Structure 1
Amino acid sequence: MKLVTRFEAASRSTTELHCLLAEAFNAFCTAPRSSAERYDALQSMRTIEDELATRSPGF
């Protein structure tokens, strides 16, 4: 998985971020331990979660 940057996360809609989060989670689960792919997926999840936390919740 390609690393999701803070800028890229900020430019996506909340729905898109939830889809990207699922993709990152799946990539993390399937990547070999201690691999660059696993690290990128983990960092992407953190970035996406941080961006989602800054947004006001929709009702």
Structure 2
Amino acid sequence: MKLISRFEAASRNTAELNALYREAFNAFASAPRGSADRRNALVSIENIEAELEMRSPFG
């Protein structure tokens, strides 16, 4: 999976972030343990979650 950076996450709207989150989650779940794809998916999830949290009125 391609890594979604904090910069890229910030440039997306919320609907796009939710779609990317789903894609990254599925990539993480299906990638072999220890693979680069799994690491990229996990970092992407963290970056997307951080961006969504910043946008939350409760975050």
Q: What TM-score, normalized to structure 2?
A: 0.93
1:3 matched to which residue of 2? 3
Identity score, percent: 63
Quote the Cα distance in structure 2 between the aligned partners of 1:26 and 1:46: 14
Q: Deviations over 1:3-54 (max 9, x none)?
A: 0001100000000000000000000001000101000000000000000000
Quote the Cα distance in structure 2 between the aligned partners of 1:55 and 1:9: 11
Counterpart of 1:12 in structure 2: which amino acid? Answer: R
What is the Cα-based RMSD across aligned positions, in Å?
0.8
Shift of 1:56: 3.2
Quote the Cα distance in structure 2 between the aligned partners of 1:42 and 1:56: 21
Aligned length: 57
Q: List 4+ stretches of structure 1 deviating above 2 A.
A: none
1:49 matched to which residue of 2? 49
Equivalences for residues 19-34 of structure 1 within 5 A: 19-34=19-34
